[in-house]
Structure 1
Amino acid sequence: MDFQEVVRRRRMIRQYDVDRAVPEEVLEQILENALRAPSAGFAQGFGFLVLDSQQDIARFRAAATPDEGPDNWLAAKIQAPLLIVVHSHKDAYLDRYAEPDKGHTDRAEDWWPVPYWDVDAGMSAMLILQSAVDAGLGACFFGLPADRIPVYREQFGVPAGMMPIGAVSIGYSDEPPRDLSKRRKPATDLIHRGRWTTAE
């Protein structure tokens, strides 16, 4: 599929044909693409947990369901043939930037303007979303409730240093087409050239 077509078609899909599995070769391509995400200092501080059985996805739902307001979280009710949980690894960045070629002598994080470990993991998630569209699939990125992360870690043996920034559900779409064009903000509200200005 042409790249511009991938960009145009990408939208968050929340309903899938759960009986139609994602082919293994497609999953492998999606993961290979995710590993190509840029990373500061080439630290590659991201990791992925693949859940492709309904038993594991049910365990994920149970782990991600908060006691209060479960209906407010997609993580608590997702029905999909495939989930990829995207993680960031802060220590990989702090270690990398304490090396001699980076000019820092300690692992301090106060000089980082933003948490690049999360930024880079987010870029890998975007590659997952785009790769799914390129393969003719639907996908949706969603977060986990903060208070359920310890339960998720315990259920799936995720090390303490790996932070789940979110998950991507993937599958063959079972949603009707939607026209989101009327909900998009005009480009002039979002793009500023030469100087950031605001309307009076």
Structure 2
Amino acid sequence: MELPELVRRRRVRRSFDAGAPVPRAVLRELVDLATRAPSAGASQGWDFLVLDGEDVGRYWAATADPSRPADRWLRGMRTAPALVLAWSREAAYRERYALPDKASGSHAPAGLDARWPVPYWHVDVGMAVALLLLAAEHHGLGACPFAVPTARVDAVRTAFGVPADRTPVMVVALGTPAGHPDDELGDVGDGEPGLPAGAAPRRPSRRRPLDDVAHLGCFGRPLA
């Protein structure tokens, strides 16, 4: 499949065939391709925690909120047979840019904080995840990126032995796309995440037109 078609075909999938595991060899290739992403100073301050089998259930147990029943989104996501947790490490960039080739010259401000107007350790992990999503599409897999709940980050670190200096940037659920388990049972569920039971679903978001996001020479001039 050509890259433009691959990019345009990619969609977020929120339910999977729980009985169709993702082969380890495929998971390894997805992560290998993700690590081919560019990173500032080739710092590569990323780690990928791959979970399959029983470890997937351990993730959902670590992030569960016992005070809230699982909503439709969560019931669908729990069918994913594999998860990839992408972590960033800021120190990798501080260490890299303290080396002589990066710590000198007019391009390197004296103050370390001034060198990082944006947290590129997170940006770079985002680029790596984008490659992983395209690789998943190439393999015919569904994928959905989402975040570790803020209140449960420490629980996830403890459950999987993640060092304290790693920050969870994104989780990617992976698997063979399938219908939502609620639909198979004839149950309409309780709507979208965050909506009260019985509330009308939000209108699906639409991709912003290219002329709204691409500017030629100055803002407001479409890229014709």
Instruction: Give the TM bin, normalised by the shorter chain.
Output: 0.7 to 0.9
Match for 2:27: what amino acid? L
Q: Distance in 1 between matches of 2:6 and 2:26?
A: 16
Deviation of 1:66 (Å)? 3.7
Match for 2:219: what amino acid? W
Deviation of 1:93 (Å)? 0.4
Note if 1:90 corresponds to 2:94: no
Instruction: Please give the per-residue CA displacement for 1:44-97, whole angstroms capped at 9, x wherever unaligned.
Output: 1000000011x2111111212245667579578532111000000100001100
Counterparts of residues 1-200 of structure 1 (less than 5 Å)? 1-53=1-53, 55-66=54-65, 78-103=78-103, 108-175=112-179, 183-197=206-220
Q: Distance in 1 between matches of 2:72 and 2:49?
A: 20
Deviation of 1:112 (Å)? 0.6
Deviation of 1:188 (Å)? 1.2
How does the TM-score come out when normalised to structure 1?
Answer: 0.87
Deviation of 1:189 (Å)? 1.2
For the 8 Å contact 2:12–2:143, the answer to whether it is kept is yes
Structure 1 ranges of 4+ moved more than 4 A: 67-77, 104-107
SS at match of 2:36: coil
Match for 1:63: what amino acid? A
Would you say how many aligned residue pairs link Structure 1 and Structure 2? 194
Q: Distance in 1 between matches of 2:144 and 2:206?
A: 18
Q: Distance in 2 between matches of 1:75 and 1:93?
A: 35
Q: Distance in 2 between matches of 1:71 and 1:124?
A: 30
Q: Which moved more, 1:66-75 or 1:56-65?
A: 66-75
Q: Distance in 1 between matches of 2:102 and 2:71?
A: 43
Q: Distance in 2 between matches of 1:158 and 1:182?
A: 35
Q: Mind listing any 5+ residue stretches in structure 1 that lack a counterpart?
A: none
Q: Tell me the C-alpha RMSD between the 2 structures.
A: 2.6
Asked which structure has the greater CA Rg, the reply is 2
How does the TM-score come out when normalised to structure 2?
Answer: 0.78
